[in-house]
Amino acid sequence: MPPIRTDWVEVRAESDIVHARQLVRRLSSEMGFRLVDQTKLVTAASELARNTVVHGGGGRLSWECIAEEGREGIRLTFHDCGPGIADVQLALKDGWSTGKGLGMGLSGTKRLVNEFEIESRPGRGTRVTITKWK
Amino acid sequence: MERIPILRMGKFLLITIQVDMHDTTALALQDDLMAKIARSGARGVLIDISALDVVDSYIGRMIADISMMSKLLHARTVLVGMRPAVAITLVELGLSLRGVKTALDVEKGMELLAAALEDGDAADQD
Ligand SMILES: Nc1ncnc2c1ncn2[C@@H]1O[C@H](COP(=O)(O)OP(=O)(O)O)[C@@H](O)[C@H]1O
Ligand SMILES: [Mg+2]
């Protein structure tokens, strides 16, 4: 089934992290997600938006409200053309950070959503896609 | 840039976070607070996050850092008003906020700080 609604926004400046949180809050609340699931998805979006800005040098958030096999969900894709991640397995470890962060962003996000996909090539960029079902 | 106000209440400082903070706002709050503790000799800090509907690893780290730093300045920190959905999410995210004292609301937080201050003062006299 095709997505019901889809669009994208820039994730470049620090203020875009706040905007990403607000956008995902609005989408998940409009779709009638439970409050806890809204909070989990907004938190995941906040982590990935910050990574896009801080590590990826800016990029985009594409969002889709989806319906398939009788269930509804939200799929978010964060995409940048930054430096990429040399070792994705390592980056997914709790506490691993090449910056000044806590290193809980990627690993924590994975726990907060139903589906998590990451694709990264050094020198080319990073794409992280997450899905949360209602 | 937006700045979060820090209110003085006797020996304590009260911070009520009411906006969805930019990362730099959170960082500025940390600096402002440490300066204010040093200047005022405040013995306790209450951080009210009842208006916050998201706490991610950045804000979580700020809260943990404030708690640790204020301890070095002889002040205790109590975090109050965390929403249940935020608490559930923080645990799943993997942030334990170990070492951060919490209370349900500002009033209970005040009681906790006052009691800790009394205990501390008694211990100082020993
Ligand atoms: N979009 C990205 N582009 C390049 N590197 C990234 C990106 N996202 C994450 N990383 C790398 O993965 C590490 C772990 O990310 P994360 O778990 O969010 O921790 P933190 O952001 O606190 O460092 C980062 O320190 C960084 O090296
Ligand atoms: Mg991160």
Contact predicate A76/A52, CB 8 Å: no
pLDDT at B126 over 50: no
Distance of CA A72 to the CA centre of its chain: 18
| pLDDT score of A1 | 55
pLDDT at A2 over 60: no
Q: What is the DSSP letter of A58?
A: S
Mean pLDDT of B52-67: 96
Say if ligand 1 is within 6 A of residue A51 CB: yes
From CA B121, how far away is CA B17, in angstroms rounded? 30
pLDDT at B119 over 90: no
* Total structural domains within chain A: 1
User: Which of A64, A60, A79 lies closest to A117, judged by CA?
Assistant: A79
Identify the contact set of chain B against chain A, taking CB-CB distances under 8 A: 20-24, 53-58, 60-61, 83-86, 88-89, 92-95
Domains of chain B: residue spans and CATH: 6-121 (3.30.750.24)
pLDDT at A30 over 80: yes
Question: What residue numbers bound the domain in which A34 lies?
Answer: 5-133
Mean pLDDT of B68-82: 96
Q: Any idea what the CATH number is for the domain that residue A43 is in?
A: 3.30.565.10
Residue that is written with structure tokens 């700045």 in the block: B3
Distance from CA of B58 to the nearest CA of A (A): 7
The whole-chain average pLDDT of chain A stands at 96
Is A17's CB within 8 Å of B60's CB? no
Pocket test for ligand 1, best of A60, A81, A97, A117 (most atoms within 8 A of CB): A97
Q: DSSP states of A15-63 as a string? A: HHHHHHHHHHHHHHHHTT--HHHHHHHHHHHHHHHHHHHHTTSSEEEEE
| pLDDT score of B1 | 74
